[in-house]
Amino acid sequence: MKILVVGGGGREHALVWKIAQSNKVSQIFCAPGNAGIASMATCVPIDAGDIDGLLHFALENEIDLTVVGPEDPLTAGIVDRFSEHELKIFGPNKAAAEIEGSKKFCKELMKKYKIPTGDYASFDNPDDAVEYIYNHGAPIVVKANGLAAGKGVIVARTVEEAESAVYTIMKKKAFGEAGDTIIIEEFLDGEEASFLVFTDGDIVIPMVTSQDHKPIFDGDQGPNTGGMGAYSPAPVITDGLFRRIMNDIMIPTVKGMSAEGRKYRGILYAGLMIKEGIPRVLEFNARFGDPETQPILMRLKSDIVPILEACISGHLAKAMVTWDENPSVCVVMASGGYPGKYEKGKIITGLDDAAELEQVMVFHAGTTSNNGQVVTNGGRVLGVTAIDASIPAAIDRCYQAVKLISWPGVQYRTDIGKKALKRL
């Protein structure tokens, strides 16, 4: 099979790495890819949002399966376009991907099908939003309705912060058109976890649990990012809670989407807040998470390609999905200044040394090649990922690799996995 992976981040590097292990695969392309992916696949200079360009490439090169990493092409309808040309593609169609593309739609769906989540209201007018904030008080959460690369969520501790968030999103257009409408939500307290499933629209197969770390600094301080690290499993999700999430959230959501005429095929990812053993949904995503994909795929023992094909064909019940019992940890190494302004082109050292460590994979996110050297090319640059017999051992192995890698201004959290240690 010839496979095309769409995207160029750490999630896509992990997907390429896992797909490359399949004996069904003869050639892998990645558009646009990055410096790390280039060692495993042929990188194609087509932007992930260039659906026409990707479609033309897939047709010209007789691609057997396209796997979409990022949310933007999914919400723009890449699956519909490829399907019109009878090209096999993994991911939800445009109507189904709206569960991520519109937070308003997502909240309305959860309300209709009694999926546990926080109270909310949506606004097109900033003055009405501010009035609502002052009536309800703080803490409160202000979200851009559309896609904002994981950064369109502002947790406001005071009503003044919330008012400022409305101004930033709706008037300053910090997230462009994504902020034309905003959602104001009840602040949910507790511990976050990520819960991802494979689904063909009928059958729902859970992945191993994971936990992301959104804020930039240790102790969950500072502004939100696309994710500064993750680990799997997430001990906050007990066996009983796992079943509850499947029965009360994931299965009803897939059924609800079908009832709405939006049959959902692909990855459904729930960002959860858990308090006193009760899960509530913060948001749904229509694809693999980043950086959760890195530790999750480190633990996937099965060939991923037949699983992806089964989601597309509607035969997921026949798929074999097995997992490594050993935990895994991913630490994101980012450019100085991220999630704000940062410089590119910094030479990365130590990659070869880290690659020599056993049970470690350095997944590239924001990298490129320049005169034979790997240099920084984004905010989140690397996702250093390790697997070991216990969470403490996986953390130690991961940070051992992290300390071998450097570039001017590098920043990373030193507490990834700390929450898991408290529950062991």
> Residues 114-118: what's their mean pLDDT?
96
Cβ contact 290:271 at 8 Å:
no
Quote the pTM value. 0.94
Q: List phi, psi (to 5°) of 266.
A: 140, -140
Confidence of residue 172 (pLDDT cuts 50, 70, 90): confident
Q: Which domains does the chain have, with CATH numbers?
A: 2-94 (3.40.50.20), 119-186 (3.30.1490.20), 191-318 (3.30.470.20), 328-421 (3.90.600.10)
At 178, the amino acid letter reads A
Confidence of residue 139 (pLDDT cuts 50, 70, 90): very high
> Which of 46, 69, 70, 71 has the alpha carbon at shortest distance from 58?
46
Q: Residue 11 has what DSSP assignment? A: H
Q: At 357, list the tokens.
A: 């460590």
Cβ contact 165:216 at 8 Å:
no
The Cβ of residue 164 has, within 10 Å, a number of other Cβ atoms equal to 16
Q: List phi, psi (to 5°) of 215.
A: -65, 155
At 128, the amino acid letter reads D
> Residues 109-122: what's their mean pLDDT?
96
> Which of 47, 117, 71, 32 has the alpha carbon at shortest distance from 287?
71
Confidence of residue 150 (pLDDT cuts 50, 70, 90): low
Q: At 373, list the tokens.
A: 């050297």
> Which of 184, 113, 97, 108 has the alpha carbon at shortest distance from 143?
184
Q: What percent of the chain has pLDDT over 70?
A: 100
pLDDT at 224 over 90: no
| pLDDT, position 174 | 85
Q: What secondary structure, in 3-state letters, does 378-414 show? A: CCEEEEEEEECCCHHHHHHHHHHHHCCCECCCCECCC
Strand partners, 28: 3
